[in-house]
Structure 1
Amino acid sequence: MLKPLRSSFSLAGLLAVLVLTGCAHSPPSDPWDPLEKVNRFNYKVNEKADKYAVRPVAKGYDKVVPARVQASVSNFFDNIGQPVTMANSLLQLKWGKFNQSLGRFMVNTSFGVGGLFDVATKLNVPNPDEDFGQTLGYWGLGAGPYIYLPLLGPSDGRDLVGSAVDQFANPIDYLDEFDEIDDDYPWVPYALRGLEGINLRASLLGFDQTLQQQFDPYAFVRSYYLENRQKAVYDGNVPPELTRSDDDADDFPAAASESDSSD
């Protein structure tokens, strides 16, 4: 059968290619946000959705589910996403990161009960983070315009393409290849994606007050996102001429998925 998840992201990728055309560079010190009016509208929509739906669910989840279980859920999704890092490490010729990611995947899948326990970190195996958006940036493609997507949040033209391509390396999107899941449990991939989103939102509850204290939360999120994505592309070694001048992003906690971070 058609894979709804992969086909929807593929369509998004095709649309993003049109956005990226002719946009090789976007100086991060001067964010290119030509869709700012639309983006701000989408930000307000997401704020309302978060206030009345997502956040209450995440708070309930955080209250009911023990911290250790939440950590295991995070470990599971980190582990199942390692093939994405492996594939993009190869595409960027980063053999060390490929070996680290492969090692983590093998150790945590085998000895960590399918990734529920992060044994690899206890063995001091680094946790690299590479995606196709970073791969495109590594080979010289600029970020393109900043985009704030309904429900999905901040992105840019390059990362929108990257997110679409990365789905092909994520094992979750292949679960419907198994007949017993496809026939009897077709909802499993969607349930896993939902759990991943709720668990992530619950992990960010502590940052809500920081965001609320910002004079312009939209600009703050934009600055934070663009700076951290730029650091990811350059593995933290951003050329001085490309360093962002925005001071706001420094106040936001470091991204949980930053390169070479561990759980």
Structure 2
Amino acid sequence: MPSPMRSTALARHAALLLSLTYLAGCTNRTPDESTVTCAKVSYPLYDPAERVNRGIFAFNQTVDEYALAPVARGYRYTPEFFQKGVHNFTSNFGEPKVFINDLLQGNPQRSVNTLGRFTVNTTVGLLGLIDVSGPLGIPRHTADFGQTFGVWGIGNGPIVEMPLLGTANSRDATGRVLDLAFNPFGNNSDTVRTLTTVNLVGSVIDKRATLLPLTDSLKPMPDYYSALRDVAAEHRANFVLEGKQGATEPQKSRCQEAPTDDL
């Protein structure tokens, strides 16, 4: 029989195979009167390898259609308290990375908020299964290495479609690889490895389920590749702006759910 360590490693690799183009950072929020579209991309998207990118995109779509999306749709039928628990746990597990990026961006208020959230939710909130900090007035925000590079003034670079990891500009693509490779908890105990695996699987499914309304609205577009690419670019532009402004809670803005044909 395979050892527990080997089984855990295999599970982690399997979960990585499900990290598709939808983990580019697009976030679908429920529209309300106060929401506005994401920051408009004021620069032309530079996609010199579009033909190659479209080929990789087609591969990613196949894997998503037959593997990830069906699991995500089934997940949405699970009890709401279960989905909320998964979302809270995976969000809390990622707080140390958010904290580090807050520090790298030179934003002490955001870093203090993140550290406070992680401490309270991990202890009182039972490893983050319950979001105790939100009701206490400490809202959740996110940050990643791609946002940090943008805050530092690093340019976007050309569009890159990565196998299993999706569409991004080269700056964010580099950040995404660092996000996957960096583990602030280390990897020196079975407990940490198990929690990391649970977090990886849970976050992939939870994020894909969250994005189902967005991707379902974009698929009927004449060119799904460019529609998703442009929406992701708008979201990331808004996300970087959020980091530059040092917002301690997500701005009430959302990416267009159905971009026009001329995007």
- TM-score by structure 1 length? 0.72
Change (3 A) 1:165 1:204: closer
Corresponding residue for residue 164 of structure 1: 177
Quick one: distance in 2 between partners of 1:117 and 1:229? 28
Unaligned regions of 5+ residues in structure 2, if any? 17-40, 246-254
User: In structure 2, what is the equivalent of residue 42 of structure 1?
Assistant: 56
Q: Matches of 1:169 and 1:45 in 2, distance apart?
A: 26
Counterpart amino acid of residue 40 in structure 1: R
**2: CA distance between counterparts of 1:160 and 1:66?**
34
Question: Counterpart in 1 of 2:113?
Answer: 100
Structure with the larger RCO, 1 or 2 (CA within 8 Å, 6+ apart): 2
Q: Is the 8 A contact 1:83 1:169 kept in 2?
A: no
2:43 matched residue in structure 1: 29
Tell me the distance in 2 between the aligned counterparts of 1:85 and 1:138: 14
Preserved CA contact (<8 Å) 1:89 1:95? yes
Moved over 4 A (4+): none
Instruction: Work out the CA distance in 1 between the residues paired with 2:243 and 2:143.
Output: 12
Report the residue type matching 1:177 in the other structure. N
Aligned to 1:197: 204
Matching residue of 1:78: 91
Structure 1 residue 78, shift from structure 2 partner: 0.8
Q: 1:154 aligns with which of 164, 167, 184?
A: 167
Please give the residue correspondences for 1:1-263 in structure 2 after superposition, counting only pairs within 5 Å.
28-63=42-77, 65-167=78-180, 169-171=182-184, 174=186, 176-178=187-189, 180-181=190-191, 189-235=196-242, 250-251=256-257
Q: How far off is 1:72 after superposition? A: 1.0
The answer to whether the 8 Å contact 2:159/2:170 transfers is yes
Structure 2 SS opposite 1:229: helix
CA RMSD of aligned residues (A): 3.0
| Mapped partners of 1:66, 1:123: distance in 2 | 25
Q: Could you tell which deviates more after superposition, 27-36 or 84-93?
A: 27-36
Aligned residue type for 1:50 = D
TM-score by length of 2: 0.72
Q: Secondary structure at the match of 2:126?
A: coil
State the AA in 2 paired with 1:221.
L
| 1:167 Cα deviation after fit | 4.2
Alignment check: 8 A CA contact 1:81 1:170 kept = no
Q: Per-residue deviation at 1:168?
A: 5.8
Gaps of 5+ in 1: 10-26, 239-248, 254-263
Separation in 1, partners of 2:128, 2:258: 29
What SS class does the counterpart of residue 154 from structure 1 fall into?
strand
% identical aligned pairs: 36
Contact 1:28-1:226 at 8 Å conserved across structures: no
After superposition, the Cα gap between the structure-2 partners of 1:189 and 1:96, relative to the gap in structure 1 and judged at 3 Å, is closer
CA positional deviation for 1:205: 2.5
Question: Which amino acid is the alignment partner of residue 188 of structure 2?
Answer: E
Task: Give the C-alpha shift of residue 204 in structure 1.
Answer: 2.3
Q: Which has the higher helix share?
A: 1
Contact 2:105 2:243 in 1 (8 A): no
| Separation in 1, partners of 2:149, 2:168 | 14
Maintained 8 Å contact 1:92/1:135: yes
Number of aligned positions between the proteins: 216
Measure how far apart 1:126 and its partner are.
Answer: 2.2
